[in-house]
Amino acid sequence: MEHYQKKYLRQLSNEYPNVQSASTELINLNAILNLPKGTEHFIADIHGEYDAFNHVLKNASGILKQKIDQHFDDLDEANKRRLAFFIYYPHVMINKYRKAWGEDGLNVLLKDVLKRMIEIARLIATKYTKSHIRKNLHPEFAYIIEELLYESSKHEDKEHYYEAIIKAIFSTNREKKMVIELSRFIRRIAIDRLHIVGDIFDRGEKPHLVMEKIMQQKYVDIQWGNHDIIWMGAASGCMVSIANLIRIAARYSNLECLEDGYGINLRYLSALANKVYKHDACKPFYPKTNNNHEGILNAPKFVARMHKAITIIQFKLEKTIIDRNPAFKLNNRLLLDKIDYDKGIITIAKKTYKLNETTFPTIDPNNPYKLTEEEDKVIRHLRQLFMHNDKLQSHIRFLFRKGRMLEKSNDRLLFHAGIPMEKDGTFKQLHYHGKTYQGPSLFEFLDQTARTAYLTRHENGNHSKDIFMMLWQSPLSPLFCKDTMRTFERYFLADKEVQKEHMDPYFTLREDKEVLDTIFKAFGIDPKKGKIINGHVPLDFTKGDHVVLNDKRIYLIDGGMSKQYKGKTNLGGTTLISDSTAYYLVGHSRFESYETLIENEQDIITLTHSEDLAKQRQFIYDTDKGKDIQETIDDLKHLIEAYRSGLLKEKD
């Protein structure tokens, strides 16, 4: 036996000190391998829409209602929906029916609801070990719920015992608390793992609440999106990311999410904006939407001034990073020096355009990228606020801990946008500091560099945070995947043609079977089993958009959850469910309010678009988790052999 193997077995023997303990665990793990694969939930492009996201988590993209429909043939549709909403919103439903039916009527209803919730919990629990179930139970009700789960009311010898438990719950006035905890337990075990495929932040008003909700999930992974990377860069002290973040918040009239959500004070920026742009109409900078909230941060004229001020600061700051990193291929984004400020025109790619905004009081035509003293003071103050904001830093640490550029799991590639490719189907190359990165190595390099930038964020003279600007808008970024970002053109030029951004060849090449096979092989995925799951581009299958590509090997799950896409998509989001038998692509109608949902007890699930049935049911042994368990089983076999051969001494 190799020395290192013997050393490892000695360490393993500390956990399993004898043949009996090692054998018990081996038997347990073998049993787990033969349980059905857990249900996985994939959500992308949340964009700060907390209410919609929270509801999709509660209804598990229709999984819970589906269980109710399958299990309770005796219920009419109205009662099925009522039961579902008691699982989603037990507090609100209890108050609703107490008010409508009185305390006695409510108790009659709760007795029926409680019994049916136990049956749903029992149905879902069959996929898990008792140990896993116990870990997900509230300590106060763990014993009672376990007894109800594993004892049947249909067996004559247990019927009285079962009914006695139910009766005792009501006689001690614990029925409401029991319904609440049981509903939480059902929601908790309905989904085995949550995958967030990018873009938690921007556009919506409550990204901070979305992050808090994600952080409460027990089993979750995150694939970073291009909008997430801005916030990660801002928390790392990248001033371009900070300016970009505030610019987007102003563009969508969401500055309150910074001040109220994170406590980041924008008074220095607002003072600069009101001083410099007081007499400027700032027409191109009026917010795209009106959130109908009161307060100065929602006054369109006020927001427009701040919007313009931070946009000019961003364009100035970008030059240093672009000059320092020619490999990022962003030189065409340096446009302030292409303006003829006297004539109000700009020359781009040898073509001249008339500017629709010509007031630039903070730009020196002879040195257009130099910050004014006040601009410099504003951005440095903001940098301190972002880097020392406890709530933001806790959220970004979680993104780094649970997230990455790309996730490989169960023969799937999960990434937010795309893989930078040339038209001939080869991977685009990033030549950086004497090394070349492409395909898998590009993802690995960008992932590692982003982590380094965050971990070394307080070091002076550290340029690794430049990577955040590259990830936001470089044609080589897997999070952007376009030829260029036309931010300047959208603000200052009326010509729609010059505003166009062209998608990376990946978005058409991925529909080619041979190209997709090449991608899977490069990333270590079996092409016969492989699937890709992306977000990034809002699509609506009810309008004919293709969201399942290449013989059900690619799923696109950005269904426009953000309210900003209300005119573009009929849907209010698309999610994906993968259980032990199939993949289900689920469309959601647009979330309006909790009050409307609960009053009507009508869910936002619209339809299941795609059903990819497996040839045979999948079990734990078919998954990556199963492979890890099998390795542990093999190690335990070696340990038992070492004990029985006398190589290792058993302990008490």
Q: Is residue 27 part of a domain?
A: yes
For residue 457, the model assigns a pLDDT of: 95
Whether 352 and 379 share a structural domain: yes
For residue 592, the model assigns a pLDDT of: 87
Q: Is residue 192 part of a domain?
A: yes
Residues 356-381: what's their mean pLDDT?
A: 96
Whether 630 and 607 share a structural domain: no
Residues 178-206: what's their mean pLDDT?
A: 94
Number of domains in the chain: 3
Note down the domain range covering 388.
207-499
Among 550, 525, 537, 523, residue whose Cα is nearest residue 610: 550
| Average pLDDT of the residues of the chain | 92
For residue 298, the model assigns a pLDDT of: 61
Residues 311-330: what's their mean pLDDT?
A: 97
DSSP 258: I
Query: What is the C-alpha radius of gyration for the chain, rounded to an integer number of angstroms?
Result: 28
Q: Is residue 506 part of a domain?
A: no
Among 548, 628, 222, 202, residue whose Cα is nearest residue 414: 222
Token duo for residue 429: 């190359």
Checking if the pLDDT of 607 tops 80, the result is no
HSE-CB of 450 using CA atoms within 13 angstroms:
33
Strand pairing category for 605-613 and 582-589: antiparallel
DSSP assignment of 241-256 equals HHHHHHHHHHHTT-TH
Lowest mean pLDDT among 320-324, 383-387, 548-552, 615-619: 615-619
Whether 472 and 569 share a structural domain: no
Whether 215 and 362 share a structural domain: yes
User: What is the tens place of the pLDDT at every residue in 61-100?
Assistant: 999 999 999 999 889 999 999 999 999 999 999 999 999 9
CB 112 within 8 A of CB 167: no
Whether 248 and 233 share a structural domain: yes
Q: Is residue 524 part of a domain?
A: no
Among 265, 271, 230, residue whose Cα is nearest residue 247: 230
User: What is the tens place of the pLDDT at every residue in 461-479?
Assistant: 889 999 999 999 999 999 9
The Cα-based distances of 482 to 323, 501, 510, 536 in angstroms read 21, 6, 15, 12
Tell how many helices (H) and how many strands (E) occur in the chain.
Answer: 25, 17
Checking if the pLDDT of 260 tops 80, the result is yes
Checking if the pLDDT of 155 tops 80, the result is no
Checking if the pLDDT of 421 tops 80, the result is yes
Checking if the pLDDT of 188 tops 90, the result is yes
Residues 432-449: what's their mean pLDDT?
A: 97
Q: Is residue 518 part of a domain?
A: no
pLDDT band of 296, cuts 50, 70, 90: low
Residues 6+ apart with CB under 8 A from 24: none
Nearest-5° angle of CA 178, CA 181, CA 182?
80
Kindly list the strands in the beta sheet with 582-589, ordered across the sheet, starting from the edge strand earlier in the chain. Answer: 403-404, 220-223, 193-196, 40-43, 571-578, 582-589, 605-613
* pTM, to two decimals: 0.94
Whether 447 and 575 share a structural domain: no
Whether 179 and 249 share a structural domain: no
pLDDT band of 5, cuts 50, 70, 90: confident
Q: Is residue 371 part of a domain?
A: yes
Residues 100-110: what's their mean pLDDT?
A: 94
pLDDT band of 334, cuts 50, 70, 90: very high
Question: pLDDT: is 246 or 607 the higher one?
Answer: 246
Whether 333 and 482 share a structural domain: yes
User: What is the tens place of the pLDDT at every residue in 631-651?
Assistant: 999 999 999 999 999 889 998
Whether 628 and 587 share a structural domain: no
Angle between helix axes 267-276 and 373-387 (nearest 10 degrees) is 160
Q: Is residue 268 part of a domain?
A: yes
For residue 154, the model assigns a pLDDT of: 60
For residue 294, the model assigns a pLDDT of: 56
Whether 421 and 475 share a structural domain: yes
The Cα-based distances of 532 to 3, 471, 626 in angstroms read 41, 20, 21
User: What is the tens place of the pLDDT at every residue in 89-98?
Assistant: 999 999 999 9
Question: Dmax of the chain from CA atoms?
Answer: 94
How much of the chain exceeds pLDDT 70, in percent? 96
Residues 266-295: what's their mean pLDDT?
A: 86
Which helix (H) or strand (E) segment holds residue 436: the answer is strand 435-437
Checking if the pLDDT of 148 tops 90, the result is no
Q: Is residue 202 part of a domain?
A: no
Checking if the pLDDT of 3 tops 90, the result is no
Whether 434 and 562 share a structural domain: no
Of 155-159, 335-339, 567-571, 572-576, highest mean pLDDT? 335-339
SS3 per-residue string spanning 344-372: CEEEECCEEEEECCCCCCCCECCECCCCC
CA separation for the pair 483, 466 (Å, rounded): 19
Checking if the pLDDT of 497 tops 60, the result is yes
Checking if the pLDDT of 291 tops 80, the result is no
Whether 294 and 310 share a structural domain: yes
